[in-house]
Structure 1
Amino acid sequence: MTSPAGLKRTRIQQEKREVILDAALEVFSAHGFRGSTIDQIADAAGMSKPNLLYYFRRKEDIHEALLKRLLDTWLAPLRELDNVGDPLTELRGYIRRKLEMARDFPRESRLFANEILQGAPRITPMLEGELKTLVDEKAEVIRGWMRDGKIVRTDPWHLIFSIWATTQHYADFDVQVRAVLGPNRGGEGRFEDAARYLEQLFLDGLKPRTT
């Protein structure tokens, strides 16, 4: 890695970048790209605007760095889907990992959702490239399970989309989920409750039919 001057970053420089990126994540996830400013990010990072601009010259550069990191993190659970394992066990693990991300990375989820709602102007190449390639690869894994009679036949792409939608809901609409569940059910246990329900929803529906 190099600094703006083309020199290798020092430990302190890298730490400063991490502080900026964490502050920017907070700001972008709360206000979206258009509603966020360099001044807001600098304030959240506890540094002056000129100091921040030494590390990132534009708001767009900060946003792009966050999105690239986010996409890599977001794809990790899908990459772990293994064609060698038992299909229902693999899909159960995928659902669980996605819910864990909803629990542990709600700001990242909101950042991604905001970008998509704006038409994905800054990450379309990533969606059409790395994301599409990985989803197509895992869809073929799922189709292989279907051909072998291990799960019922369905559309693997829409199956993946459905898992995304249901698990990410617990990050993007967390305030609504907690409000509706109320104080007795809206605590940390809501994620385990969600996991059990989604496992039943998806896995029972995918089990091969017995005659």
Structure 2
Amino acid sequence: MSRVIVFGGHGRIALLLAPILVARGDEVTSVIRNPDHVSDVEQTGATARVADIEQSDTAAIADLIRGHDAVVWSAGAGGGDRERTYAVDRDAAIRSMDAASAAGVKRYVMVSWLGSTADHGVPEDDSFFPYADAKWAADEHLRGTDLDGTILGPGTLTLDDPTGRIDLEAPDRGRVARADVAAVIAGAIAEPLTIGRTIRFGNGTPESSEPIAAALKR
């Protein structure tokens, strides 16, 4: 059994992740900003904690994290507001990493995106640029910490039924069911071979994909 804290606990992926973790015996704390979402979160079997991570300093976030075994960062500003995107997707994410170190919680899983690279190619005048820039900065910060970090880079998210399979290599790997992303997060938490890796994936095709557990071991 692991004690897992999930930031962005009311997001679609987090709401799919929590039941997976609970079903295997983990204790899940889901951090949410809106108290109106407590019921939705607790229906997944997780314990809801209300906190505005955008406004929380490192010490306050460390207090939330302390006592857990793993951190999952699945929070995001949702786009549309440049300043808030940087405040959440970059600055708050970085504070959570520093907080995890301060709290002595080494395992950290970052939910990023497929295109998070230094040469992501998004023009600065594109409305998507702040997200691309913020995620890249957060990913790079995690790589420079002493945490046992894993960066997950799913492609375009869909509401398709889960396949239980992902593709790490083919050009058409980019689309992926949110339920499969949740399964990848759960698998990564428990798989030591994912530590130190950046795993970019989509569902691919039946021919190009492989079972999630097998992909995470490579």
Which structure has greater strand proportion? Answer: 2
- Calculate the TM-score normalised by the size of structure 1: 0.30
Greater length-normalized contact order (CA 8 Å, ≥ 6 residues apart): 1
**TM value normalised by structure 2:** 0.29
More helix per residue: 1 or 2? 1
**Bigger CA radius of gyration:** 1
